[in-house]
Amino acid sequence: MPDGMMVDYDGLIPNNVGLNQDARLRKAIETWHPGYIDWWKQMGPEGFQENLVYLRTAVGVDPKGWAKFDYVRMPEYKWGILLAPAVEDRRIGFGAHKGEPAWQDVPGEYRAMLRRIIVIQGDTEPASVEQQRHLGATAPSLYDMRNLFQVNVEEGRHLWAMVYLLQKYFGRDGREEAEDLLRRRSGSQDSPRMLGAFNEATPDWLSFYMFTFFTDRDGKMQLEALAQSGFDPLSRTCRFMLTEEAHHMFVGETGVARIIERTCQAMRAAGIEDPGDSERVRALGVIDLPALQRKMNLHFSLTLDLFGAEISTNAANLFNAGLKGRYREDKLTDDHVLRDATYPVLRCIDGAIVSEAAPALSALNMRLRDDYVADCQGGVGRWNKIIEKAGYDFRLTLPHVAFNRHIGEFTALPVDTEGRLLDAASWAARRDTMLPNADDAAYVASLMRPVSARGAYANWIASPKVGIDNKPGDFEYVRIED
Ligand SMILES: [Fe+2]
Ligand SMILES: [Fe+2]
């Protein structure tokens, strides 16, 4: 951008926050924007920056405005700043300030806490773009490639959403945090992203679908909890982000579903009765269900770590302060203060995993995690329906919450996927049956060959039932010039 002052920001950045009327905010965004574009070009989808992609852009928050489909080059995507409409006379719904008018400005006493949760949420958004940047090269179809890029540009927009809050409400330190969000890198030794799962590699498309199913769903839970916030601008920001997040989980759920469908179909055609016969299944060039199960075990357990320690004073403080509520707090019917309430928490006591009543306020991470597990369960049930319909008596299951954990009560405990405590040696002996092993990685990697003919799909994944924006099967979702 040669001259930032010449830019019509209302034209460039779809927004409903009065960007052109707010000189200070405009200036902050003008300063940050070139760095963002540099980051996108360096760390965004590799090799496809110049291609035209059939993307959905949010230009407004009403049903007509938030899903405009057209071909765009990704660096020219209009990353907007959009808040869900204000709720008239909105009140703080929980904690010590319950019933007071929602804050339109940052409450001074909670400034540091609030900034921290915005930064943590913000850091996950560019991280996943970085993790997924190599995947375009091996997309199983133009449809899938487009979905990947859609997720990527929306994560970019989610970063914008958090940067808006930092720049608008947190002055100089907000601007510094916004710069730092562009400085950290997923997987970097010196300057990694803030949360563990966002520093893991996403080496293949199976990982991508699992990530969008499991890890984007953590995003959904966090956004739901922040959408309850007494800090109204955060609530409105998160409410709008949730509309986009739904698409990310759709990509994950249907991606895995299409893999299962294809595998079952290929097994049937080949007369394979035992889905556990991975060697025969792999000879067909499709992904065996036990390998899918192991991949699920990995992504589920990594994502559980994102909920933090089961017992947490930080979570209690955020709730008391009215900054972060529970999942769908406004639909719950208790006192929303939780001073005397308890909540069952799983703990490891004398080598046994037991449920113990803990003060509900300290157990809020555990509660959000439970809501998350229930939400995952729905999708897994739908996956199993496909296997059942194909006539196989194999079921995918979520592993026990104590399995493969690195944060909280079960850190580093040798627990199997059923929740049985093992000794270290038997855990090590069984590791490769519970988590993706070297053979799985090599096999899945061998399948990652790009398919870019219109309407064609890689052998290991079924075609989707309907196109994006109701486009026909042979639609050119990404223009690949040769
Ligand atoms: Fe996001
Ligand atoms: Fe997402």
Element (H, E) at 473: none
Q: What is the mean pLDDT of residues 412-437?
A: 96
Indicate the average pLDDT of the chain.
Answer: 95
> How many CB atoms are located within 10 Å of the residue 53 CB?
24
CB 399 within 8 A of CB 434: yes
Phi and psi of 382, rounded to 5°? -70, -35
> How many CB atoms are located within 10 Å of the residue 480 CB?
15
Report residue 2's pLDDT band, with 50, 70 and 90 as the boundaries: very low
pLDDT digits (tens, 9 = 90+) for 360-393: 999 999 999 999 999 999 999 999 999 999 999 9
User: pTM for this structure?
Assistant: 0.96
Residues above pLDDT 70, as percent of the chain = 98
Residue 140 makes CB contacts below 8 A (sequence gap 6+) with 205, 450, 451, 457, 458, 460, 461
Given a cut of 80, whether residue 11 has pLDDT beyond it is no
Given a cut of 60, whether residue 1 has pLDDT beyond it is no
Element (H, E) at 438: helix 438-447
How distant is the alpha carbon of residue 212 from its chain centre? 5
Given a cut of 90, whether residue 405 has pLDDT beyond it is yes
DSSP state of 85: P
CA 7 – ligand 2 centroid, Å: 29
Concatenating the DSSP letter of every residue in 367-421 gives HHHHHHHHHHHHHHHHHHHHHHHTT------PPPTTTT--SSTTTT--B-TTS-B
CA 130 – ligand 2 centroid, Å: 13
Q: In this predicted structure, what is the pLDDT of residue 5?
A: 38
pLDDT digits (tens, 9 = 90+) for 17-62: 988 889 999 999 989 999 999 999 999 999 999 999 999 998 888 7
Element (H, E) at 297: helix 289-304
* Whole-number Å distance between alpha carbons of 211 and 203: 11
Instruction: Map residue 468 onto helix, strand or coil.
Output: helix
CA 237 – ligand 2 centroid, Å: 14
CA 125 – ligand 2 centroid, Å: 7
Given a cut of 70, whether residue 240 has pLDDT beyond it is yes
CA 238 – ligand 1 centroid, Å: 10
CA 219 – ligand 1 centroid, Å: 6
Element (H, E) at 72: strand 68-73
Residue 285 makes CB contacts below 8 A (sequence gap 6+) with 266, 447, 459, 460
* Whole-number Å distance between alpha carbons of 52 and 49: 8
pLDDT digits (tens, 9 = 90+) for 176-189: 999 999 999 999 99
